[in-house]
Amino acid sequence: MKVWTSRNLVPMASRILVVEDDERIRSSMRLALEGEGYEIDEAANGEEAMERFSGHPADVALIDLMLPGMDGFECCRALRRQSAVPIIIVTARADTHDVVAGLEAGADDYVTKPFVTKELGARIRALLRRVRPVDEEPTVLAFGDLELVPEEGVLRHKDGTEVHCTKTEFRLLCELASSPNKVLSREQLLDRVWGYDYFGDGRLVDVHIRRLRTKIEPDPALPRHILTVRGMGYKLVP
């Protein structure tokens, strides 16, 4: 059973799946994260990660991009096909192509090697903090043919058909839908959705906006609901 703290609603003893082929790095990550109270499951490659996750689902997955066999990108895609678990990709390069490709593969966030343990811990806590108990009447935000129920984590068409979103995509859509017709900057969305200072890295927002459009727009190339306001940010038009 998970115990919730009243301060930040982060579950205690959360399970973290660490997917890293370098044994030294994997061991250091395990020791650091265990020191913060997490339960750690380890995998040296993508195939082993999928097997371990199927047997013991994790609350957050940390996936190195440069894995032998099934690389980190394919591991993200495979994991995302079966779960909405938050994914943080780990890369040795801050190269735009690698980062964007990882996010497009389904990751929620990224860290670059070498990383600071406190920064990694902050990112994990930010992802875990998104889950919170519900004790109030659900609010329904409607736009176009879609209904968004933030308290239930549900996005559906008015005929009842549900639209699958990752937790990050869902929170991003909630922020936009809760302020219809209002332009929200990338910095505002980073702060509200990801939960702390990302030093202005708007790639996280841009990639998730593109993924959302493929799920809710009749024609993602000509969006009707999530619009780009050049030089300012994004807004949702009901």
CATH class of 141-236: mainly alpha
* Residue 137: partners with Cβ closer than 8 Å, 6 or more residues away: none
DSSP secondary-structure letter at 51? H
Contact 41, 15 (CB under 8 A): yes
Closest CA to 209 of 197, 191, 232, 226: 226
Contact 60, 85 (CB under 8 A): yes
Residues 231, 189, 191, 31: what is their CA dihedral angle, to the nearest 10 degrees? -120
Instruction: Determine the pLDDT at residue 229.
Output: 94
pLDDT level of residue 107 (50, 70, 90 thresholds):
very high
Closest CA to 172 of 200, 218, 208, 197: 208
Q: Where in the chain is the domain with CATH 3.40.50.2300?
A: 15-128
Structure confidence by residue, pLDDT tens digits, 6-17: 233 333 458 999
Structure confidence by residue, pLDDT tens digits, 144-199: 888 888 878 889 988 888 999 888 899 899 999 888 899 999 988 988 888 765 55
Closest CA to 202 of 177, 185, 216: 185
Q: Where in the chain is the domain with CATH 1.10.10.10?
A: 141-236
Contact 30, 42 (CB under 8 A): yes
The domain 15-128 is classified under which CATH number: 2.20.28.10, 1.10.287.1080, 3.40.980.10, 3.40.50.2300?
3.40.50.2300
Structure confidence by residue, pLDDT tens digits, 25-57: 999 999 988 888 889 999 999 999 999 999 889
Instruction: Determine the pLDDT at residue 199.
Output: 53
Instruction: Determine the pLDDT at residue 6.
Output: 29
Q: Is the peptide bond before 150 cis (omega within 30 degrees of 0)?
A: no
Beta-sheet strand order (sheet of 146-149)? 141-143, 146-149, 154-157
